Structure 1
Amino acid sequence: MTEQATETVTVTVLGPANASTARVLEPGDLDAALRVLARDPVTNAFVASRVRAAGLDPWRLGGEMWGWFERGELVSMCYSGANLMLIGAGEEAVRSFAERARRQGRRCSSIVGPAGPTAMLWALLEPHWGPAREIRSCQPVMATSEPSERVAPDPFVRRVRREEIDVVLPACVRMFTEEVGVSPLAGDGGLLYRARVAELITTGRAFARIEDGDQVLFKAEIGAVTDRVCQIQGVWVPPEHRGKGLARAGMAAVLEYALREVAPVASLYVNDFNLPARAAYRAVGFEEVGTFMSVLF
């Protein structure tokens, strides 16, 4: 691994009674960062899971964490890695993070986060970063702390076994390509994506209904995990099997696993135009608790 030069920039905004400062967070800021993340455990699940696992060291975290301080207290952050993600950012913080991102140039494949601040961030960056490949301005964030009362869990949905990676990987690739619009096999031939799928299987967080040994009828994973919330992702049913109730029953099964064995709250986010998926999630008990926005490059 080659070393990468990191520009150290501190931005200070002076006011009549205080100073607001933005800088790259360091390992010593970990406790303060965790306090900020804990203010909204559902919205911040992805970043919180990364920080809890890797701390704030950029190499282990997979990117820098930028902090915004008011009166010496860390009040908001921005994760700058494969994704650019705001955490609890107000207008001043968004402007500061946008300026830092503009100076360093685009390194991320997407901007994801709470819709209002993310829209403001993109408005500031778009003149410098150029047009996005796609903008999804309304992605409902949904959560529940109760197993499904109305939909029975599919008894055939189970954890994927390690030796089944070559069975489920094509389904994962189809889901990713359908959802994101590009194949995860591009670039490195899928090595990193395969490693991520293998990690989810090894840790017992990949679920599927598999028939005839090689036919995946439903799949989903539990991605981000903290002690307070987990995030369900990658929900997929083959197009030829949609409309049969497989997604609802499958989600009820995954939700049962998630709440019993992983965290007290399960969450996810979904595109607003995906009406069948939203209906399936509501049917098993998920309720809308916020809105994300994604900018894809």
Structure 2
Amino acid sequence: MTEADLPAVEAFLAAHADHAMFALSNLATEGLARDGGQNAARSMFVWAWGDPVTAVIAITAEGMILPVLPREAAAHWAEIAPELAGRRAFGITGEAGAARAGFRALGLGQSGVALDRDEPHFALELEALEVPAGHDAFAVVAPGPGQRALMEDWRAVYHVEVLGTRPEHAAAMAKRDIEIALARDTYRMILRDGVPVSMAGINAAAPGIVQVGGVFTPPELRGQGLARHAVAALLADRRARGAKRAVLFAASEAAARAYVAIGFRRIGDYTLTLFDPVVEIAP
């Protein structure tokens, strides 16, 4: 596709934003990628069908496959397989039905994975956000350079626990992630008696809607309901800045309970698969 096609693609993705947040956010921040060009890691190669657009499959320059496909459009995987052949892929994420169809069509089931799971997918109209009891006991801060080292430590643990990252790679990846988070002001941290106890972030955003990610409470502080306070604080801030809706997917039953407690309702399942090592899509 070309720049001229972007408005139609973005309109389709916006209409399916609950399942398209990574694609929407990447287009907004990094734009389209070009074969043979100097591409930002999250710029995207995009294929779209229909006029108006009815289905989209994208892959970032660094290799994350992002399908936004209605159930009846799963056959598009067979059409796109020759275009994706030879490209490097480090993962696939999206609505479970669409992602699993691609997983099979591209032969990715034979590849080694660091992470491969279908997670419960949730949404919340932010006017219905339920702030937990006792929330006034916490201070809410936009973390800055003074919290950077702690955030990197927490994010490294998150990488290993939640994303299946190899421990020897976690610190470097956490450093990169937190550098971006601080530059874009996407995290909020809660403090109890002046001590940081939990944090939550936004991993994708589009007009009116945000996607929560990177929720973390240190192991020694878990079981106290801190994550729900961190997410509530983050979303109250985003609501004040104009967001109307939030989505997220839960990595554990405990996380799911925390999200339901503040008003989220399940809308389906969301697949997150990460390959280790990065694979080359076969012809």
- TM-score w.r.t. the length of structure 1 is 0.79
**2:238 alignment counterpart:** 258
**1:104 alignment counterpart:** 86
**By how many angstroms is 1:112 displaced?**
0.5
More helix by share: 2
5+ residue gaps, structure 1, are: 1-24
**2:278 alignment counterpart:** none
**2:16 alignment counterpart:** 40
Provide the C-alpha distance between the structure 2 equivalents of 1:117 and 1:252, rounded to a whole number of angstroms: 30
Q: Secondary structure at the match of 2:228?
A: helix
Provide the C-alpha distance between the structure 2 equivalents of 1:98 and 1:146, rounded to a whole number of angstroms: 42
Provide the C-alpha distance between the structure 1 equivalents of 2:154 and 2:201, rounded to a whole number of angstroms: 12
**By how many angstroms is 1:61 displaced?**
6.6
* Structure of greater relative contact order (alpha carbons < 8 Å, 6+ residues apart): 2
What are the within-5 Å matches in structure 2 for residues 209-224 of structure 1? 209-210=190-191, 216-224=196-204
Check the 8 A contact 1:66/1:97 in 2, yes or no: no
Provide the C-alpha distance between the structure 1 equivalents of 2:114 and 2:156, rounded to a whole number of angstroms: 20
Provide the C-alpha distance between the structure 1 equivalents of 2:83 and 2:94, rounded to a whole number of angstroms: 17
2:69 is aligned with 1:91: no
**By how many angstroms is 1:185 displaced?**
6.1
**By how many angstroms is 1:149 displaced?**
3.0
Check the 8 A contact 2:12/2:53 in 1, yes or no: yes
**2:215 alignment counterpart:** 235
**1:292 alignment counterpart:** 270
Check the 8 A contact 2:96/2:118 in 1, yes or no: yes
Provide the C-alpha distance between the structure 2 equivalents of 1:98 and 1:30, rounded to a whole number of angstroms: 22
Q: Name the CA shift for 1:279/1:211 in 2 (closer, same or farther; >3 Å).
A: closer
Provide the C-alpha distance between the structure 1 equivalents of 2:174 and 2:58, rounded to a whole number of angstroms: 21
Q: Name the CA shift for 1:52/1:150 in 2 (closer, same or farther; >3 Å).
A: closer
**By how many angstroms is 1:292 displaced?**
0.8
1:185-223 Cα offsets, whole Å, 9 max, x none, are 629x61x6424312222332211134687x642011122
Q: How many residues align?
A: 265
1:246-280 Cα offsets, whole Å, 9 max, x none, are 11222221121121125211211113xx1111011
Provide the C-alpha distance between the structure 2 equivalents of 1:237 and 1:60, rounded to a whole number of angstroms: 31
**2:181 alignment counterpart:** 200
1:156-194 Cα offsets, whole Å, 9 max, x none, are 23210133211211011111211011148629x61x642
Q: What RMSD, in angstroms, separates the aligned Cα atoms of the two structures?
A: 2.5
Provide the C-alpha distance between the structure 1 equivalents of 2:174 and 2:242, rounded to a whole number of angstroms: 23
**1:15 alignment counterpart:** none
Q: Name the CA shift for 1:44/1:129 in 2 (closer, same or farther; >3 Å).
A: same
Q: Give 1:37's aligned amino acid.
A: L
Which deviates more, 113-122 or 256-265? 256-265
Identity over aligned pairs, percent: 22
Q: Secondary structure at the match of 1:74?
A: coil
